[in-house]
Chains A and B, each alone.
Chain A
Amino acid sequence: RKEVEQDPGPFNVPEGATVAFNCTYSNSASQSFFWYRQDCRKEPKLLMSVYSSGNEDGRFTAQLNRASQYISLLIRDSKLSDSATYLCAGGASGGSYIPTFGRGTSLIVHP
């Protein structure tokens, strides 16, 4: 089983919709979690960290559920420019807390 797993999608939503992605992790000792955004043929870019109490950045909300070992990303009022692949990162590798990445969830926002 991969340490971090995501539904690859694609999630195909209209502009203005609310969409949520989940990402499960297998290591219960995981400490650090992040969401990255990757545009086609570009590098991943840090979108936001995920804090235990949940956190919000504009239209984006990230949450952590330790009991069920998943993190989530909620995007409200989707824009065409939100179309991208969203990678979650988390877990620990040999106790070093270096995050490992999921395969990504593809989001397509259409007019």
Chain B
Amino acid sequence: DAGVIQSPRHEVTEMGQEVTLRCKPISGHDYLFWYRQTMMRGLELLIYFNNNVPIDDSGMPEDRFSAKMPNASFSTLKIQPSEPRDSAVYFCASSPSARSQYFGPGTRLTVL
């Protein structure tokens, strides 16, 4: 299996621009998670889906963040407008059981 696939791997943008991060989970995994990792806050859960349905988005920082999962093989995390404090590594992970998770390689986002 190819594992979790994320794109882009690196993104540099300017404050105020829209950013879209993409994720393809492992086939057959019913759960998909979006995390953000920074030195200051560690690894934070933003939102997770079960069978394409958002279950818990309490970790989403504010209305500028949105996530969708239109089908079992694709999810997006969008930030609009982006701010410098959004700079972080964003990981997508999938899981068959909601407990142990398989992470993608991450998207390193820099907002100038």
Instruction: Say whether A associates with B.
Output: yes
Known: A98-B48, A98-B56. A46 touches B42 (CB 8 A): no
- Check if B12 is an interface residue, CB within 8 A of chain A: no
Q: Which residues of A lie under 8 Å from residue B112 when comparing CB positions?
A: none
What's the Cα separation between A100 and B98 when bound, in Å? 11
Within 8 Å by CB of B43, from A34, A93, A101, lies A101
Contact yes or no, B105 A42, CB < 8 A:
yes
Bound-complex Cα distance A100 to B56 (A): 13
Please encode chain A, from 36 to 48, with 1 for each CB lying within 8 Å of some chain B CB and 0 for all others: 0000001111100
| Beta-carbon nearest neighbor of B105 in chain A | A43
Indicate which residue in A34, A87, A96, A103 contacts B100 across the interface (CB closer than 8 Å). Answer: A34
Count A-B pairs with CB separation below 8 Å: 45
Q: What residues on A are CB-neighbors of B48 within 8 Å?
A: 98
Q: Report yes or no: A46 in contact with B55, Cβ–Cβ below 8 A.
A: no
B43 x A44 contact (CB < 8 A): yes
B48, B103, B106: residue with the most chain A Cβ atoms closer than 10 Å: B103
CB under 8 Å from chain A, chain B span 42-58:
42-43, 45, 48, 55-56, 58
Name the B residues within 8 Å of A42 (CB-CB): 105-106
- Pair B42/A45 contact, Cβ less than 8 Å: no
A98 in contact with B42 (CB, 8 Å): no
Can you list 29 contacts pairing A with B, beta carbon distance less than 8 Å?
A32-B99, A32-B100, A34-B100, A42-B106, A43-B91, A43-B104, A43-B106, A44-B43, A45-B103, A46-B100, A46-B102, A87-B43, A93-B45, A93-B56, A94-B58, A96-B98, A97-B98, A97-B99, A98-B33, A98-B45, A98-B48, A98-B56, A98-B98, A98-B99, A99-B99, A99-B101, A102-B42, A103-B42, A104-B42
